[in-house]
Amino acid sequence: MTAQRRVTLVTLAADLGVSRATVSNAYNRPDQLSAALRERILARANELNFAGPDPMARGLRRGRVGAVGVLVDQGLSYAFSDPATVLFLDGLAVEVQQDGYGLLLHAGPGGPADPTFVRNAVVDAWVVQSLPDDHPAVTAAQAGRRPMVVLDQPALAGVPRVRIDDEAAAAQAVRHLLDLGHRRLGVLSMPLRSDGHQGWADLRRQQEATYLVMRRRLGGAAAEVAEIGATWAEVPVVECASNDPDAGALGAGELLRLPSRPSAIFAFSDQLALGVLRAAADAGIEVPGQLSVVGFDDSPPARAATPPLTTIVQPLRDRGRAVGTLVRALLRGETAAEPAPYPFHLEVRASTGPPPEHQATR
């Protein structure tokens, strides 16, 4: 009949005639009280339906809530639809779980998290996964003065970043195509800015891309093209509005309808490359006989595709673990040095071969 207050440490302590510190110790420091009393406390707690110290209050006092906030580009379903992202998150989750941290994900319908939510989020640290340079959510997260680690982009002063040498990787992919004899290249890029643009990206748009990784890859590809004396400005670059096979197929369609059709397409992600394969199949273009395709990431579907994709291999899950390791170190109060770029390599599979014009001469 009495007004039923919530059961807390104090309720229990009063009920048992002990101090609340003792009850707290029963949960957190079993060595600080006799086993008998501890038993009695836990038993009574059970009777009173007390589930243990409130995580929130503990969080405030201890300064740790057990959550790592993750900022991903676009909505959750987009993020989750890319196996590369999923593997990253999995590696990250497994790693931070070792210290009892979970992942907190915010997601608007299609857009990334609102800065307001970022400011109000109860987290111990932030992980940023591939956001553009100027993203407001990143700024908001930085204002919170909590440990932070970035995957790939953006580059932030004083914030460790796990990445590969995207410039070198792109160069290597292009070099592979050039070595095979290809001279009519096409590039299929992920978004260069987050404005939903789908279609041609001229030099200016390339240079002004707010996604650092895209600038780097374009730069690496351009350097390699210049190497053989060709002009980068003549290489058609199509930007996809999102990173999925549908957008990739759309973009590939534009490249394949060019009067001077590319004999090779370098897609900046496997998701897009899968779209290229689909577009080629739909148009009756043989891969690699009439068209070579190179991807990026080495996500599982790339291996399983028909034909299996030649792609840049970057250890996706390992990079997630690496980010997790850095987060854990920062949360322990250690200062994490900027790690060296992660290793990568080009895995040549069946989606690339010599261009049609060379095949007769072999």
Partner DNA sequence: CGAGTTTACTGGATCGATCCAGAGGAAGGT
Partner DNA sequence: ACCTTCCTCTGGATCGATCCAGTAAACTCG
Q: Residues 146 to 175: which contact DNA by CB under 7 A?
A: none
Among DNA, its own copies, none, partner that 9 touches (CB below 5 to 8 angstroms by kind) = DNA
Site for its own copies in 145-164 (CB under 8 A): 145
Q: Can you spell out the DSSP letters for 79-134?
A: HHHSHHHHHHHHHHHHHHHTTT-EEEE---SSS---HHHHHH---SEEEEES--TT
With contacts defined by CB under 8 A, how many residues of the chain interact with its own copies? 48
121 binds its own copies (CB under 8 A): yes
Q: Is 183 exposed, middle or buried (0-12, 13-18, 19+ CB in 10 A)?
A: middle
For the bound state, the minimum distance from the C-beta of residue 75 to its own copies, rounded and expressed in Å, comes to 7
Transcribe 141-203 into DSSP letters: HHHTT--EEEESS---TT--EE-B-HHHHHHHHHHHHHHHT--SEEEEE--SSSS---EE--H
Please, is 120 exposed, middle or buried when counting C-beta atoms within 10 Å of its C-beta (0-12, 13-18, 19+)?
exposed
The entry of DNA, its own copies, none near residue 10 (CB within 5 to 8 angstroms by kind) is: DNA
Closer to DNA by Cβ: residue 10 or 94: 10
CB of 64 to its own copies, least distance (A): 9
Q: Distances in Å between the alpha carbon of 16 and those of 47, 93, 104?
A: 12, 40, 38
How near is the Cβ of 170 to its own copies at its closest, in Å?
27
Q: How many CB atoms lie within 10 A of CB 255?
A: 22
CA distance 68 to 38: 33
Q: Looking at 15, 44, 53, 241, which residue binds DNA (CB under 7 A)? A: 53
Choose the one of DNA, its own copies, none that binds residue 233, judging by a C-beta under 5 to 8 angstroms depending on kind.
none
Asked whether position 93 contacts its own copies by CB under 8 A, the answer is: yes
Q: Which is nearer to DNA, 21 or 203 (CB)?
A: 21
Closest CB to its own copies among residues 105, 178: 105
> Rounded to whole angstroms, what are the CA distances from 76 to 55, 259, 299?
27, 38, 18
Residue type, 300: P
**Least separation in angstroms between CB 52 and its own copies:** 6
**Rounded distance between C-alpha atoms, residue 126 and residue 137, angstroms:** 11
Give me the amino acid identity at 264. A
8 binds, among its own copies, DNA, none (CB under 5 to 8 A by kind): DNA
- Please say whether the dihedral angle defined by the alpha carbons of residues 231, 234, 240 and 244, taken in this order, is positive or negative: negative
Taking CB under 8 A as the rule, does residue 119 contact its own copies? yes
If one asks whether residue 226 binds its own copies (CB under 8 A), the answer comes out as: no
Q: Which is nearer to DNA, 6 or 362 (CB)?
A: 6
| Contacting residues toward DNA, per CB under 7 A | 6, 8-10, 17-22, 24-25, 27-28, 31-34, 37, 52-54, 56-58, 60-63
| Contacting residues toward its own copies, per CB under 8 A | 49, 51-52, 55-60, 63, 65-67, 69, 75-77, 80-81, 83, 86-87, 89-90, 93-94, 97, 100, 102-109, 113, 116-117, 119-123, 143-145, 317
